Structure 1
Amino acid sequence: MAYDAEDTRRRIFAAATAEFAEHGLAGARVDRIATAAKANKQAIYLYYGSKEKLFAAVLRAKLEEVRASVSIDPDAVAESVGQLFDWYQEHPELIRLLLWEALEAGDEPEESERERRDGFREKVHHLVDGGVGRDLPEDARVRAAQDLLFTIMGLIAWNFAVPRMVRVVLDEDTYQAAFARRRETVIEAARTLAGATGRLHSRVSE
């Protein structure tokens, strides 16, 4: 059977995603990734260069996956937030990867930071063009949209960063019941925030 380089890459990527999500960058082991991927370590270094570059590639790809799958519709913020909540519930590995990055990354900006900034600027301008903060002065609309976007991200992400706390605080017997409650609450909170963005940002700026 001929060697399938793309299939090998896919297997390495899947194995690396699971390994990094569970152990972080420092705790991950290339030999475990190779074993899980049924590939050799040399192939990993050949395709990605180092463990650090493999981690960066995995995180970049997962961020691109959520960006391509779900966007915040300025005309239907609450509905978009529900879809985004569902995506994170189905892909909890992204939150784990971001938490590991926050714990282990240094203070120096990484190569991927500019790419991420560009991606979020695109989302922010989409919100502004859709009318978010329309009652604010022009120079304040971008900041209002940025704050709205990040607040929504936090409302969603915290649930999957501390899932046990969600169940305990809400006093639910199962994670399913806890997440169902949180989904509805987050959607309603997003709807309220989107409607009050201009007023909130005006107060903050005073």
Structure 2
Amino acid sequence: MAYDAEDTKRRIFTAATAEFAEHGLAGARVDRIAAAAKANKQAIYLYYGGKEKLFAAVLRAKLEEIHVAISLDPEALAESVGQIFDWHQQHPELIRLLLWEALETCGDGPGEGEEERRAGFRAKACLLAANVAPGLPEQARVRAAQDLLFTIMGLIAWNFAVPGMCRLVLDEESDQAALARRREAVIAAARRLAAAPSPS
């Protein structure tokens, strides 16, 4: 059977996603990734340049995945929030990767791909700005939209960052029941936030 480089890269990427989500950057082991991917350790360095670059590639790809899968509709923000919530429920690894990034790589200056990610979020905020705080000047509307976007991201992400705490605080019997309840609450909160009057 001929060697398939793309299949090897895909297997490494899948194994790395699981390894980094479980153990973070510092705790991840290249030999475990290689074993799970049924690949040679040298292939990881050849295709990705090392553990840190592989982590950055995995995180960048997962963020791109949600960007492609979900469109933020400023005319139907609550519905978009429900879709984003559902995506995170189906892909809990993104929140774990972001938490590991925050714990292990932040504070050392701009990280790899930071400007690209910043530009993507700026574009989303500009899209929202048309419907946020219409009485304000353009720059103030963009800033209000950025605050709204980050607040909504927090409302969604915290449920998946601490699912056990979510279950306990809401006094539900299962994570699934707690998340179903939280989904409705987050959508309702997003609807109220989007309809809030402009700050003076």
Query: Are positions 1:146 and 2:165 aligned together?
Result: no
User: Size of the alignment, in residue pairs?
Assistant: 199
Deviation of the 1:133 alpha carbon: 1.9
Question: Aligned-pair distance for 1:139?
Answer: 2.5
Following superposition, the deviation at residue 136 of structure 1 comes to 1.6
1:57 equivalent in structure 2 = 57
Tell me the residue number matched to 2:123.
122
- 1:172 alignment partner in structure 2: 172
1:20-169 to 2 correspondence within 5 Å?
20-107=20-107, 108-129=109-130, 131-169=131-169
| Aligned residue type for 1:97 | L
For 2:72 and 2:164, locate their aligned partners in 1 and report how far apart those are by CA, in whole Å.
Answer: 27
Match of 2:183 in 1: 183
**Code of the aligned partner of 1:117:** R
RMSD (Å) for aligned C-alpha atoms: 0.9
Shift in Å, 1:85: 0.1
Contact 2:56–2:112 (CA<8 Å) still a contact in 1?
no
Cα distance, 1:81 vs structure 2 = 0.2
Separation in 1 of the partners of 2:138 and 2:49?
A: 45
Q: Distance in 2 between matches of 1:151 and 1:106?
A: 20
CA–CA distance in structure 1, aligned partners of residues 21 and 117 of structure 2: 20
Q: Which amino acid aligns with 1:115?
A: E
Deviation at 1:161, TM superposition (A): 0.3
Which residue identity lines up with residue 32 of structure 1 in the other structure? R
**Residues 88-121 of structure 1: CA deviation (Å, up to 9, x unaligned):** 0000000000000000014211131101011111
Look up the SS of the partner of 1:75 in the other structure: helix
Q: Which amino acid aligns with 1:175?
A: D
Displacement of 1:20: 0.2
Deviation of 1:132 (Å):
2.0
Runs of 4+, deviation exceeding 2 Å: none
Q: Distance in 2 between matches of 1:84 and 1:138?
A: 26
TM-score by length of 1: 0.94
- Unaligned ranges ≥5, structure 2: none
Aligned-partner Cα distance in 2 for 1:98–1:4: 31
By how many angstroms is 1:167 displaced?
A: 0.3
